[in-house]
Amino acid sequence: PTTIYLSDYRVPDFLIDKTELSFELEEAHTTVNSRLYLRRNPEALDQSAPLELHGADLSLESIALDGRELAADEWVEEGELLRIASVPDNFTLHCVTRIYPQSNTSLEGLYKSSGMFCTQCEAEGFRKITYYLDRPDVMAEFYVDIIADKSLYPVLLSNGNCVLEEDLEFGRHRTRWHDPFPKPAYLFALVAGRLSRVSDRFRTRSGREVDLHIYVEDKDLDKCEHAMTSLKNAMRWDEDVYGREYDLDIFNIVAVDDFNMGAMENKSLNIFNTSCVLAKPETTTDAGFQRVEGVVAHEYFHNWSGNRVTCRDWFQLSLKEGFTVFRDAEFSADMGSPTVKRVEDVTLLRTAQFAEDAGPMAHPVRPDSFIEISNFYTVTIYEKGAEVVRMIHTLLGAEGFRRGSDLYFERHDGQAVTCEDFVRAMEEANGVDLQQFRRWYSQAGTPRLAVSGEYDEAAQTYTLTVKQSCPATPGQAEKLPFHIPLKVALLGEAGQLRLNLQGHKADPDAADNTERVLAVTEDTQAFVFTDIPERPVPSLLRGFSAPVRLHFDYRRDELLTLMAKDSDGFCRWDASQQLGLAEILSAISAQESGQAAVVAEDFVAACRSLLLDESLDPAMVALMLQLPSEAYLAELISPVDVQAIYRAREAVRKGLAHALRSELEACYGRCDVEEEYAANAEQIARRSLKNTALAYLMLCEDGEVYALARRQFERSGNMTDRLAALVAIVNAAEPYKGEALQRFYQDWQHEPLVINQWFQVQATCRLPGTLGRVKELMSHPAFDIGNPNKVRALIGAFCGQNAVNFHAEDGSGYAYLADQVIELNRRNPQIASRLLTPLTKWQKYLPAAQTAMKAELRRILAEPELSSDVYEVVSKSLQ
Residues marked active site are found at 299
Compute the least distance from the CB of residue 311 to ligand DPP, in Å. 10
Interaction partner, residue 54 (Zn ion, ligand DPP, none; CB < 5-8 Å by kind): none
End-to-end CA gap in the chain: 16
Q: How far apart are CA 8 and CA 315, in angstroms?
A: 11
Residues 292-331 that bind Zn ion (CB under 5 A): 321, 324
Closest CB to ligand DPP among residues 51, 187 = 187
Evaluate whether 855 touches 875 at the Cβ level (below 8 Å).
no
Compute the least distance from the CB of residue 308 to ligand DPP, in Å. 14
Compute the least distance from the CB of residue 871 to Zn ion, in Å. 25
Closest CB to ligand DPP among residues 30, 270 = 270
Of residues 122, 220, 258, 617, which one binds ligand DPP by CB under 6 A? 122
Q: Beta partners for 30? A: 25, 99
Based on the shown chain and the rule CB under 6 A, indicate whether residue 265 belongs to the binding site for ligand DPP: yes
Evaluate whether 371 touches 2 at the Cβ level (below 8 Å).
yes
Q: How far apart are CA 833 and CA 844, in angstroms?
A: 20
Longest alpha-carbon distance in the chain: 95
Contact mark string toward ligand DPP, 224..263, x via CB under 6 A: -------------------------------------x-x
Closest CB to ligand DPP among residues 233, 609 = 233
Evaluate whether 551 touches 397 at the Cβ level (below 8 Å).
no
Interaction partner, residue 263 (Zn ion, ligand DPP, none; CB < 5-8 Å by kind): ligand DPP
- Please give the residue whose beta carbon sits closest to ligand DPP in the complex: 264
Q: How far apart are CA 399 and CA 402, in angstroms?
A: 5
Which strand ranges, in their side-by-side order, compose the sheet holding 549-552? 500-501, 524-530, 461-469, 448-456, 549-552
Contact mark string toward ligand DPP, 749..788, x via CB under 6 A: ----------------------------------------
Closest CB to ligand DPP among residues 176, 302 = 302
Closest CB to Zn ion among residues 217, 321 = 321
Q: Report helix, strand or coil for 624.
A: helix
DSSP code of residue 793: I
Interaction partner, residue 663 (ligand DPP, Zn ion, none; CB < 5-8 Å by kind): none
Strand 263-264 to strand 269-273: parallel, antiparallel, or no bridges (unpaired)? Answer: antiparallel
Compute the least distance from the CB of residue 290 to ligand DPP, in Å. 17
**Beta-carbon count within 10 A of 526 CB:** 12
Q: Beta partners for 524? A: 467
Stretch that binds ligand DPP, among 296-304, 413-421, 449-457, 475-483 (CB under 6 A): 296-304
Q: Could you tell me how many residues of this chain bind ligand DPP (CB under 6 A)?
A: 9
Closest CB to Zn ion among residues 324, 760 = 324
Based on the shown chain and the rule CB under 6 A, indicate whether residue 622 belongs to the binding site for ligand DPP: no
DSSP code of residue 510: -
Cis peptide leading into 510, omega within 30 of 0?
A: no
Burial of 262 (0-12, 13-18, 19+ CB in 10 A): middle
Q: Report helix, strand or coil for 752.
A: helix
Compute the least distance from the CB of residue 441 to Zn ion, in Å. 18
Contact mark string toward Zn ion, 737..776, x via CB under 5 A: ----------------------------------------
Compute the least distance from the CB of residue 377 to ligand DPP, in Å. 6
Q: How remote is the C-alpha of 200 from its chain's centroid?
A: 28
Q: How far apart are CA 618 and CA 682, in angstroms?
A: 8
Compute the least distance from the CB of residue 271 to Zn ion, in Å. 13
Closest CB to ligand DPP among residues 332, 720 = 332
Compute the least distance from the CB of residue 302 to Zn ion, in Å. 6
Interaction partner, residue 122 (ligand DPP, Zn ion, none; CB < 5-8 Å by kind): ligand DPP
Q: Write out 107-156 in H/E/C secondary structure.
A: CCEEEEECCEEEEECCCCCHHHCCCECCCCCCCEEEEEEEEEECCCCCEE
What are residue 285's phi and psi, to 5 degrees?
A: -80, 170
Based on the shown chain and the rule CB under 6 A, indicate whether residue 386 belongs to the binding site for ligand DPP: no
Element (H, E) at 449: strand 448-456
Stretch that binds ligand DPP, among 65-73, 224-232, 294-302, 454-462 (CB under 6 A): 294-302
Q: Measuring CA to CA, which residue among 251, 236, 255, 276 is closest to residue 200? A: 251
Q: How far apart are CA 505 and CA 513, in angstroms?
A: 11
Closest CB to ligand DPP among residues 327, 363 = 327
Residues 308-367 that bind ligand DPP (CB under 6 A): 321
Q: Measuring CA to CA, which residue among 756, 753, 824, 758 is closest to residue 785? A: 824
Q: How far apart are CA 319 and CA 137, in angstroms?
A: 14
Interaction partner, residue 729 (ligand DPP, Zn ion, none; CB < 5-8 Å by kind): none
Interaction partner, residue 261 (ligand DPP, Zn ion, none; CB < 5-8 Å by kind): ligand DPP
Closest CB to ligand DPP among residues 321, 751 = 321
* Residues at the interface with Zn ion (CB under 5 A): 321, 324
Q: Which residues bind ligand DPP (CB under 6 A)?
A: 122, 261, 263-265, 298-299, 302, 321
